[in-house]
Amino acid sequence: MSAKTLRIAGVTRTFPARGRTPPTLALQPTDIAVAPGEFVAILGPSGCGKSTLLRIVAGLDAPSAGSVSLDGRPIAGPGPDRGMVFQSYTLFPWLTVERNIRYGLEERGLPEAEQRAIAARFIERVGLRGFEQHWPRQLSGGMQQRCALARALANDPEILLLDEPFGALDHQTRELMQELLLEIWQQDRKTVLFVTHDIDEAVFLANRVLVMSARPGRIKAEVPVPLPYPREWTVKTTPDFAALKARLMAEIRDEVRRAAATIGS
């Protein structure tokens, strides 16, 4: 599968009026280009349109204006070239770990032996060997997200879309999942678009961070992360990491206040 450039051009999103609630402008015109193999984090306050933008790229929502394309081919709906992992646990409760990971492969009609081989490879990669026949209810939150990540990767997507996938996890598990994702990315160099509220997470994972304003969202700043790969957890203790964190905190602080003021008004 050849690598493709993701282009988001002039995308806006306005949610229509409901009853007495007027229309809501969620996204101002947004332009982003993501090169093949990039790991781009989108950072912003709650309600700024980060998840809306990601859902538009996934084809789960449509822009009110503008376009999203992969190498010039418009995105008009979900497709196997994009894999998505959500914050909430989205495994099918009636399927085992192995069958959850095989789900997309079954939908594509791959031979069962090939499905099993691919599933086994990703089960090994995310550390779930021995849990193949467990049900989602038997797994911890971290294990469920490992399974969801394996399911997304098993389809060999061009782009991996992650919507705060570790937001519901405890601190220690979250850090372990960050390291697992980074290890997989460093090996495969998939194109990644990663939505987060967490500044440390954005700096640790990404090679570029886009900061969004409070709603209606727009790209307020673009901050390169020149920390070399491969990255270990110890990079978080370095002066360079602290300086990047401070810069991003300065960029986002006023936006978080604006978002809180909007909610309170």
Q: Render pLDDT for 19-35 as a digit per residue (tens, 0 to 9).
A: 888 888 999 999 999 99
Across the chain, what does the average pLDDT equal?
91
pLDDT band at 265 (very low <50, low <70, confident <90, very high): very low
pTM (two decimals): 0.91
Confidence label for 42 from pLDDT (cuts 50, 70 and 90): very high
Residues 2-17 have a mean pLDDT of 87
Per-residue model confidence (pLDDT) at position 3: 60
The residue ranges of every structural domain in the chain are: 6-81+159-264, 89-156
For domain 6-81+159-264, the question of CATH label 3.40.50.300 is answered with: yes
- At 263 the pLDDT is 59
Q: How far apart are CA 75 and CA 59, in angstroms?
A: 6
For 184-210, the pLDDT digits (tens) are 999 999 999 999 999 999 999 999 999
pLDDT digits (tens, 9 = 90+) for 138-192: 999 999 999 999 999 999 999 999 999 998 888 999 999 999 999 999 999 999 9
